[in-house]
Structures are given as structure tokens and as C-alpha cells.
Chains A and B, each alone.
Chain A
């Protein structure tokens, strides 16, 4: 049987990816340019017995998502810049309580209301540092409609596997552009479900490190009952201020992601074998970069592309290794240097890093990148 093919918008594909992953709950609040995710979920979720609710605000939406996720449901919300700022306190709550959920954040200009209909890539730092306190961060940055679909499934898989909120951040161009998408058959892409307890209800502890850095999570309304709090907690879920426990728990929460970075980090290498000038890019900007690499090669410049698919954890090892054999990095991005600073940190002075920054609501066009390649080669 021929696979189902459609010509679809990125945001719609994100919603369909969530459904493929088994998402059964969505809470959101309307915000440009992400609203299509909510619109598709409102139409599709009830067809599969799932629940959609439009909440009174962004904070309420994030709260409802965590509440639903605690009953065992795979839960999703979608938002954009100002909404992401509002959701941050509850994202932190999800991190410390270790509740799996997915946030689709379609990046628009900022800060504040900024440019609601214009593209941007300026929320990537917010994905790691937006909520206060130390916490794990997983952020995916797809570049096409097909990839947004597939990475949304992966976002759910990572959320469930590591018991933590996961962000997927298409820029507005990827969220709103339409491309052909081929839907995988059920079972074709792996879907991971959370690990539930194997011990008896009497023995169950929601943060029992006997089971490793990612303890099993029971569902409210099952045979297990337990306490959940945003306070620093012990393995039984109850609050504590005991220094050694607080230190160990905070370190574990970060470690469960950092120590598994190789499993989470995904990237694409394009023409890197003999590359002297390497573009590090993500989202729609990486498409400009690939175009530019092809143009540059025609002109005799040994250019290559390192395309980030996972932004956090950042592929530090890979960038460091590259930095020892290339002449220069170029980091085009629709912000004023967020990724550039991270890359500079990774290369440790081994090669210069040249940023190309745009925050005027226009994409970085391939010519800008080619010009920079000529300048630095």
C-alpha cells in the first residue's frame, strides 16, 4: 500500500507527529505563529479519545499539561516567545518533579511582543536558561516539515525516556512553510512509553534511584499514590532541606540528560570531509547554509555544513573535534549571536568563529553566507 502523502504546513506536521507518538492531551493558549498546532490538535485529539483544552493563559496551559501528564497521558502544549516566557515557571516545575511533556515553541522575533509574524531563532537560550535554577534541558531544532513531524515524535520519546519536559523549536519559517510530507506507517518509527513501576504500591517511591537516574513514574488514578511537589524533594517525593539529598537530587536531574548526551544529540554533516570553512546552522537558516555551501563549492571554496538537529545538549565534542581541522566557522542565525557564543565556547580558540546575525524579520539569505565564506577562507 502506498504511504499517505500530503502537502502540509510545519506546524500541522508537528501536531501530527504528536498524534503519531500517542499524545492524548493538549492544553494551549492562542499565540502567533504557533496557533496551527493547537488548531490541528483541537480537531484531531477528540477523534482518538484524547482531550484538548484552550486554557485562560499560557501559565494555565503549561500547568494543565503537567497535571494531565501525571495521570499517565502523553501531553503537549504549543507556544511562541512571550508565551514561552510565561510558561517558564511551570517548565521548571516539570523539570524538578520530572514529569514528561513536550513544548512546541515556534520562534518569532522578540523580546516582548517583538515581531509576531516574523521569523527568529532567538529563543534557544530560553530553552536552557529560561526557568530559574539548575535543570536539564533538551531542545530540538528541525529544518523541514518532514523533520518537524519526525522530531516531534523524538521529542515525546526523549521526554518519556528521560522523564523531563522537552522543547522542540522550529523557527517561524519552518513552522509556517509547506512541503510534501510522507507519513510513516504505525510502528515504522519507534515510539517510547514511560517506564512504570515494577514494585508494589507499598514499596513505590517516585524518585527511587535504585532504578537508576530515571526512576519509574506511576500514574495518578492507578494503584499507586504518591506526592508531587516543586520543593526540593527526597526519593519518596516529600520535601526536604537536607543538604546532602538536595545536592544529590539536583545533580541527578541534570546528569540524567548530560550523561546521555550522545543518545540525545543529533546532527547532520554535509561536505565536511575536506571542508576548510564550516557553517554551523540550524532550522531554516541551515537551508540557506546548504544552498550557500553548494554555491561556494562551485566557486572553488571548500565549504561544509554542520547542521544542528539537537540544540541542547549542544554537540560540544563534535564541534571541538572539527575545530582542530578547519580554518574557520561561520554561524549564521536569526538572533544576535546565541549559537555563535556557544560554538566559540566549544572551539576553545582553535579556529575563528564568524557570526552572521539578522533580527529584522527577514531570513538570512544564501548570498550573505557565501560573501562571508569568501571573506574568511
Chain B
């Protein structure tokens, strides 16, 4: 990967998407030793609304810190999917929550869908780790950082009492995405 790889995590405020983006960028910048910039835009709401977190990953210094043509998009809500899919590249990666998104953007995308939120809620038992399930899936689908480095970045960011929970969430997301991709 020589050029820019542009990833956008989108959903509602309070879903932890900024953290998911930060961890992805840290995996690249600190653990892979390549360049990464994370930025975000959000509304006045701490909870709800449409929120996005963008990560640019490159082997070269990164000038423009925002997405120009999105290589990979995560959408956890219909509102975010509608609002943030307009600049997804042809052939780009699109990961959506199959329980929550019923209107998919039209275009030639590599679409992967599974029940991301419900995986966190029912299989891990904590809806709060939805972002980590989604992150695991995005790591699997984009391949821009290794699974090992991404997991290290996750574990460095979460409180000690929740290490196992997050590890499980990350791995389950990774596996489900690999399975759904096929």
C-alpha cells in the first residue's frame, strides 16, 4: 500500500465510532509504524445524530487529513449510511449492520453485512462493545493493518477490567466479517 487508504467509521453519536477510528489509526501509526491521521466530525449531540470518524493510512506523510475518495465505509445506522456513502469509491469496501440498514447505497461496492450491534448485545452480552466488533470486522475487510497489531491497539486503549470482553468482541467481529465476506 503506497498511496492513501481512506476509511470512514459512521453511525450515531455515543456508539464509540471515534474510538474505533482512533484504535485503527493507532494500530497503523504506533504498531505498524506507518503514517495515520484520525479526524472526526460530530453534531451537538453527545448521543444520537450522525457521527463519523475518518482515518487516513499511508506509507507516506499525509497532507489532507480528511477523506477524498472513501476506500472503506462502516455504517451502523441508516442515517449515517445515507449521509456518508456518497463518496465511496467504486469497488470500495462497505460494511453495514444488517439489522439496522434496509436501504443500501447503489453502486459497485464490496458489500459485507452482518448483525453488528446484535452480535455485541447478544453474543458478547454488552451493546457497548459494538464499536469493537465493528473494528474487528473493518480490520478483516480492509487488511491495511494486521490483526495482531490491531488487537494490541485495542487492548492498549481499554480499561484492564474489560480486556477480555474487548478481545472477544474484536475477534468475533473479525471472524464474522471473514465469514460474511465469502
CB of B133 closer than 8 Å to a CB of A: no
Q: Please report the number of residue pairs spanning A and B whose Cβ atoms sit closer than 8 angstroms.
A: 58
CB of B12 closer than 8 Å to a CB of A: no
Number of residues from A at the complex interface, CB < 8 A:
22
Inter-chain contact B64/A180, CB cutoff 8 Å: no
Number of residues from B at the complex interface, CB < 8 A:
21
- The contact string, 1 if C-beta is below 8 Å from chain B, for chain A 267-288, is 0000000000000000010011
Q: Which residue of B lies closest to A33 (CB)?
A: B42
- Min Cβ gap B9→A in Å is 13
Per DSSP, are chain A's interface residues mostly helix, strand or loop, or mixed?
mixed
Inter-chain contact B65/A287, CB cutoff 8 Å: yes
CB of B43 closer than 8 Å to a CB of A: yes
Q: Which residue of B lies closest to A288 (CB)?
A: B64
Per DSSP, are chain B's interface residues mostly helix, strand or loop, or mixed?
mixed
Known: A7-B29, A7-B30, A288-B63. A176 touches B39 (CB 8 A): yes
CB of A28 closer than 8 Å to a CB of B: no
Inter-chain contact B68/A367, CB cutoff 8 Å: yes
CB of A109 closer than 8 Å to a CB of B: no
CB of A96 closer than 8 Å to a CB of B: no
Residues on the B chain within 8 Å of A284, using CB: 65
Task: Please report the C-alpha to C-alpha distance between residue A116 and residue B42 in the assembled complex, in whole angstroms.
Answer: 10
List B residues 132-167 near A (Cβ within 8 Å): none
CB of A208 closer than 8 Å to a CB of B: no
Known: A116-B44, A117-B42, A294-B63. A178 touches B37 (CB 8 A): yes
- Min Cβ gap A332→B in Å is 12
Residues on the A chain within 8 Å of B37, using CB: 177-179
CB of A247 closer than 8 Å to a CB of B: no
Residues on the B chain within 8 Å of A365, using CB: 64, 66, 68
Q: Please name 4 further chain A to chain B contacts, defined as beta carbons within 8 Å, in addition to the given A117-B41, A179-B37, A291-B64, sorted by A numbering.
A: A7-B29, A176-B39, A178-B37, A180-B35
Interface on A for B, CB 8 Å cutoff?
Answer: 5-7, 116-118, 173, 176-180, 284, 287-288, 290-291, 294, 363, 365-367
